[in-house]
């Protein structure tokens, strides 16, 4: 399934990485260019247990 998430704060980023870990293609959008650049590098922008692990696992299904 193709999914677009608008806003990559605590809720949006968490939802994105969880959906990506279930092999859904996710496009994450945010107006903060620095946040998007950091996520493109594979670095989580929030401190939440497990988000960085899921971000690494789902990297092939996530686009920011």
In this prediction, residue 62 carries a pLDDT of: 98
Residue 13 binned pLDDT confidence (cut-offs 50, 70, 90) = very high
| Alpha carbon distance 43, 52 (integer Å) | 7
pTM of the predicted structure, to 2 decimals: 0.92
In this prediction, residue 9 carries a pLDDT of: 97
- How confident is the model over 15-47, as pLDDT tens digits? 999 999 999 999 999 999 999 999 999 999 999
Provide the β-strand partners of residue 28. 5
| Alpha carbon distance 64, 57 (integer Å) | 15
3-state DSSP percent of the chain in helix, strand and coil, to 5: 45, 20, 35
Residue 2 binned pLDDT confidence (cut-offs 50, 70, 90) = very high
Measured over the CA atoms of residue 10, residue 13, residue 31 and residue 29, the dihedral's sign is negative
In this prediction, residue 19 carries a pLDDT of: 98
């Amino acid at each position: 399934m193709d999914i677009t998430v608008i806003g990559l704060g605590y809720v949006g980023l968490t939802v994105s990485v969880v959906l990506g870990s279930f092999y859904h293609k996710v496009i994450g959008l945010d107006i903060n260019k620095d946040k998007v650049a950091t996520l493109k590098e594979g670095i989580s922008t929030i401190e939440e247990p497990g988000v960085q692990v899921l971000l690494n696992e789902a990297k092939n299904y996530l686009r920011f």
